[in-house]
Amino acid sequence: MIDGTAIEALAERFKKPFHAVDPLTAWPTIIVVGGRTVLMAPDGWSEYQPMLPSVRPLEVGTLDAVPEYLRANKDNLPLDKLVVHVAGPTTVRILGPLSGEEDRFRRQCYLEAEARIPKIPFGQYLESEAFGIILRTCFVDAPTVQEVVALVASIRESDVRETVDDGVAQEVKVLRGVALVDRQRVPSPVLLAPFRTFAEVVQPESPFILRLRSGVNGGPPTCALWEADGGAWRIRAMEAVAGYLWGMLEGSLSSAGVRIIS
Is residue 69 a part of any domain in this protein? yes
Predicted confidence at residue 165, as pLDDT, reads 44
Q: State the Cα–Cα distance between residues 219 and 221, nearest whole angstrom.
A: 7
Residue 121: inside a domain, yes or no?
A: no
DSSP β-ladder status, 107-114 and 58-60: parallel
**Structurally, how many domains does the chain consist of?**
3
Over its C-alpha atoms, the chain yields an Rg (Å, rounded) of 32
* Number of Cβ within a 10 Å radius of residue 237: 24
Q: What is the pLDDT of residue 237?
A: 96
The domain of 251 spans: 58-116+238-261
Question: Would you say residue 204 lies in a domain?
Answer: yes
Determine, yes or no, domain membership for 254.
yes
Averaged pLDDT score across all residues of the chain: 78
- pLDDT at 249 (0 to 100): 86
Looking at the fold, whether 140 and 226 belong to one and the same domain comes out as: yes
Same domain, 150 and 214: yes
Q: How much of the chain, in percent, has pLDDT values that exceed 90? A: 40
My answer on whether 84 and 9 are in the same domain is no
Same-domain check for residues 165 and 71 = no
Q: Rounded to whole angstroms, how far apart are CA atoms 136 and 150? A: 11
Give yes or no: residues 96 and 133 share one domain.
no
> Do 70 and 95 belong to one domain?
yes
> Alpha carbon 6 to chain centroid distance?
65
Tell me: the pLDDT tens digits for 192-249? 999 999 999 999 999 999 888 877 776 778 889 999 999 999 999 999 999 999 988 8
pLDDT digits (tens, 9 = 90+) for 30-50: 666 666 666 665 555 555 555
Nearest to 195 by CA among 90, 125, 101, 112: 90
User: What's residue 48's pLDDT?
Assistant: 52
Residues 137 and 206 placed together within one structural domain of the fold: yes
**In this structure, is residue 45 part of a structural domain?**
no
259, amino acid identity: R
The 10s digit of each residue's pLDDT in 65-82 is: 999 999 999 989 988 889
Same domain, 135 and 226: yes
Is 0.75 topped by the overall pTM? no
Residue 79 lies in a domain: yes
Q: Are residues 65 and 152 in the same domain?
A: no
Strand, helix or coil for residue 162: strand
